[in-house]
Each structure stands twice: as structure tokens, then as C-alpha cells.
């Protein structure tokens, strides 16, 4: 007796609301890649949620992830510390507000230090 169930490797779709998913590139949000002069960047040293460790958080970027990854690598090497990229927010370990303010303003960004 043979079963009429579709095999697990076949792509049978029971219901799809918005048509074929082959055009997934059209559904992705486009990120405007603005020049540095048109971006307002905020730098803040914070400890909240990091078990007492100080982290410098840089927000306000409107770049593609590839551009931000390259910028993060450059900033980490200038500061001599580690860091990460989370949701278009750069985090660099340690308190490097003044160093990052100088570097980013030399790169052409409009930068302000926020917080105490």
C-alpha cells in the first residue's frame, strides 16, 4: 500500500499570502548609504547590561553592513580594543569617547558625545 504524502524533500506549499518567494530581494528593506557629511552620529560610554564593563556605543549610522564592518575594524585598530556590530550600532570595549570623536570627525562625520 503506497502513501500519497509528499516527500520531505519536495517543496509543496500549502498556503502563501504574497505570491512566489522567488522575488525576496524586492521585499528586503533598502538601507540608504549616505555620505558621512549627512549623518549625525552619537557616541556614548555605557555600562548598562554589561556586568559593569564599560563599552563605547556609536549610533546613528546609515550605511550598508559591509561598510559598517570595515569602519568597525578601522576604529577597533585605532583604539586597540575589541568590539562588535549589532543592528547598525557599533560597540567598542572600553571608554574611548574622545578618541572616537576625533577619528570620526576626521572621516567627515557630524559627531556628538551624548550622556554624562
Q: Residue 63: which residues within 8 A CB-CB, separation 6 or more?
A: 31, 33, 34, 71, 88
Q: Closest Cα to residue 91, out of 82, 103, 99, 83?
A: 83
pTM score? 0.71
Does some domain include residue 1? no
Q: Residue 11: which residues within 8 A CB-CB, separation 6 or more?
A: none
Does some domain include residue 52? yes
pLDDT of residue 60: 92
pLDDT in tens, 81-102: 999 999 999 999 999 999 999 9
Does some domain include residue 12? no
Q: Residue 82: which residues within 8 A CB-CB, separation 6 or more?
A: 76, 92, 93
pLDDT in tens, 37-48: 888 999 999 998
Tell me the CA distances in angstroms from 48 to 2, 18, 95, one per residue in order. 61, 41, 13
pLDDT in tens, 16-70: 676 666 555 555 556 677 888 888 999 999 998 888 899 999 999 998 889 999 9
The number of domains in the chain is: 1
Does some domain include residue 18? no
Separation between Cα atoms, residue 9 and residue 11, nearest integer Å: 6
Does some domain include residue 10? no
For residue 58, what is the domain's CATH number? 3.30.780.10
Domain residue limits at 81: 34-113
Does some domain include residue 71? yes
Amino acid at each position: 500500500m503506497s502513501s500519497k504524502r509528499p516527500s520531505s524533500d519536495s517543496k509543496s506549499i500549502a498556503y502563501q499570502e504574497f505570491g512566489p518567494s522567488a522575488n525576496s530581494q524586492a521585499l528586503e528593506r533598502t538601507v540608504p548609504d549616505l555620505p558621512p557629511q549627512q549623518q549625525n552620529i552619537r557616541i556614548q560610554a555605557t555600562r548598562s547590561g554589561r556586568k559593569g564593563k564599560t563599552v563605547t556605543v556609536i549610533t546613528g549610522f546609515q550605511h550598508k553592513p559591509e561598510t559598517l564592518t570595515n569602519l568597525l575594524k578601522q576604529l577597533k585598530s585605532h583604539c586597540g580594543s575589541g568590539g562588535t556590530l549589532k543592528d547598525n550600532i557599533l560597540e567598542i570595549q572600553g571608554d574611548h569617547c574622545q578618541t572616537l570623536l576625533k577619528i570620526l570627525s576626521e572621516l567627515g562625520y557630524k559627531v556628538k558625545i551624548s550622556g554624562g
